[in-house]
Amino acid sequence: MRRNARKRYRNLDNIKNKKTWLDLAKWTRYRPNRRYKRKEWMLRVPQTHQVEKAFLRSNRNETTISWIGHSTFLVQIGGLNIVTDPVWANLMGFGKRLTPPGIALSDMPPVDIVLISHGHYDHLHFPSLRRLPGNPLFLIPEGLQSLFYKKGLQRVEQCSWWERKKWGDVEFVFVPAQHWSKRTLWDRDTSHWGGWVIRKRSTEPGGYVTIYFAGDSGYFRGFREIGRRFDIDYALLPIGAFKPEWFNHLEHVSPEQAVRAYLDLGASAFIPMHYGTFKLADDTPKEAVDRLLSEWQRLDLDESNLKLLKLGQTLRCRQLR
């Protein structure tokens, strides 16, 4: 098939966020003004003093969420070990990782399921995938299967938006996001992007424990639709890589927009992610967290519902509704 004949994926409402060379030049002119932030870049996301290695390896009953860094989480639910967008890379492009992974690969339990949100390198890192312990099944967006096969990974199932997969008592639903995809000069938007809803029926009558992993997204009406379809207990939402906002707003939410997305979702708890690991834009980790906390306070939201995890920290989960 000719390159120009490949299927191209779209956002809801056909929102396009393709940048021009003039946009990139404008951003470059803006960047010298970042010098005053050098001290802020020295501030790091805190790491837990005690990773619960033995518990994570043996746990088959409790539902947990452990933050490894960026968009990488270990989710344990229904006896399964699930990893989202696994990236243990020390470099991203020419930039060094700002903080070490919260859980070392050597300390990870065997992985059953890997969830991929989209094909950008800070979310899809094949060296990390190959080094994961266990023999995981990869649930991926439509359009990426041939790349996985080419890389030698065969246990793959690809999904389109709203498609569901089940493993035992746990259900996985691939849901929309507003973003884009590209790994080479020729493959822009030839694979899809989205988030994942993970849910398992609770011991409480008629209920589910539901976790929503947003992947990468700008603010869009899809958050409200996801919230309409699912009663979300824990929303894992990005708060970083948003500046300059005129350049990034269609593909990355700002901290304030992340709070708005959390409210649209009707979720009970908010777990921030996608900050503090790589220098992907002009915002610093401190700025992302400060603006998130400021907006949370401005709206007088319940402080107990904001879960600012340390790297390597494990949160015990429960049905919150």
Residues, the chain: 321
> Are 211 and 233 contacting, i.e. CB atoms less than 8 angstroms apart?
yes
Side-chain half-sphere exposure of 73, counting CA atoms within 13 A = 31
> What tokens were used for 316?
């015990």
d(CA 150, CA 170): 29
Q: Give the containing element (helix H, strand E) for 172.
A: strand 170-175
> Are 241 and 281 contacting, i.e. CB atoms less than 8 angstroms apart?
yes
d(CA 231, CA 308): 21
> What tokens were used for 116?
């991929």
* CA nearest to 198, candidates 103, 74, 101: 74
List, for residues 159-193, the tens digit of each pLDDT value.
999 999 999 999 999 999 999 999 998 999 999 99
Complete domains list, the chain, with CATH: 21-316 (3.60.15.10)
Prior bond of 255 cis (ω within 30°): no
* CA nearest to 224, candidates 191, 261, 181, 195: 261
d(CA 266, CA 258): 12
* CA nearest to 261, candidates 165, 195, 163: 195
pTM value is: 0.95
d(CA 321, CA 38): 43
Q: Burial-class residue 240 by CB neighbours within 10 Å (0-12, 13-18, 19+).
A: buried
List, for residues 284-314, the tens digit of each pLDDT value.
999 999 999 999 999 999 999 999 999 999 9
List, for residues 120-134, the tens digit of each pLDDT value.
999 999 999 999 999
User: What is the model's pLDDT at position 295?
Assistant: 98
User: What is the model's pLDDT at position 193?
Assistant: 98
User: What is the model's pLDDT at position 17?
Assistant: 79
List average pLDDT for each run of 10 residues in the chain, which is 321 residues long: 70 86 72 63 88 97 97 97 98 92 98 98 98 98 98 98 96 98 94 97 80 98 98 97 93 98 98 96 94 98 98 91 66
User: What is the model's pLDDT at position 22?
Assistant: 80
Q: Is 2 helix (H, G, I), strand (E, B) or coil?
A: coil
Q: Burial-class residue 98 by CB neighbours within 10 Å (0-12, 13-18, 19+).
A: buried
User: What is the model's pLDDT at position 32?
Assistant: 52
In the chain, which residue ranges form alpha helices assigned H by DSSP? 21-30, 38-41, 53-58, 126-131, 145-150, 222-229, 245-248, 255-265, 285-298
User: What is the model's pLDDT at position 58?
Assistant: 97
List b or e across 293-304, with b for residues whose CB sees 16 or more CB atoms inside 10 angstroms: eebbeeeeeeee
